Amino acid sequence: MFQKLYPWKYVDSAYEIDFDGLYRKGYRGIIFDIDNTLVPHGAPADERARTLFSHLKELGCRCMALSNNKEPRVKPFCDAVGIPYIDKADKPKPGNYRRAMEQMGTDTSNTLFVGDQIFTDICGANFAGIRTILVKPIHPKEEIQIVLKRYLEKPVLISYRRYRKRMEKKRMRGASARK
């Protein structure tokens, strides 16, 4: 029922993603949400974010931020980490995800999206055909409209975890049957 809302992967933090391994698998473009994905809501770029984007550039990845926030919030962060951005992105509509890929010179086969919200970040990227990585929010302090969405996300995450367990069991049965 919720499968259009499921991420490809779900991890604790954007900073624990194996970007080197994903690069080896052919991923060349990464679109990021900013607030509560890379830094707490409204916070400036920190050393961890600058180090991440420096490493991604060294790898050869093209990166971009896609944020529903306005330019006064998005520009200073992106300038600090040295990546382009699309502000007022109107997520979950898929148009600006496609625009980001076009600007990076990537496509759905080699682009990932990393974000912390199911109903905006993940849903929009899924509709655009991009593989998604959902991360846990960095900080519990959020705007009220996001807090309300978190309550709605809970049943989706429960369903997602059950789905992943079923798929893992199915994969294990298939692996033991091939032996």
- Domains present along the chain, CATH in parentheses: 3-177 (3.40.50.1000)
Strands (E), 50-139: 62-66, 85-86, 111-115, 131-135
Percentage with pLDDT > 90 across the chain: 70
Provide the pLDDT for residue 83. 98
Distances from the Cα of 68 to the Cα of 60, 74, 92, angstroms: 26, 9, 9
Compute the distance between CA of residue 173 and CA of residue 179 in angstroms, rounded to an integer: 10
SS3 66: strand
Provide the pLDDT for residue 166. 83
pLDDT-derived band of residue 60, with 50, 70 and 90 as boundaries? very high
Element of type H or E holding 169: helix 144-177
pLDDT-derived band of residue 175, with 50, 70 and 90 as boundaries? low
* pTM (two decimals): 0.86
pLDDT tens digits for range 20-30: 999 999 999 99
Q: Determine if residue 131 is left, alpha or beta; phi over 0 gives left, psi from -120 to 50 gives alpha, anything else beta.
A: beta
Provide the pLDDT for residue 171. 76
Position 87 pLDDT exceeds 80: yes
Q: Which of 122-126, 163-167, 171-175 has the lowest mean pLDDT?
A: 171-175
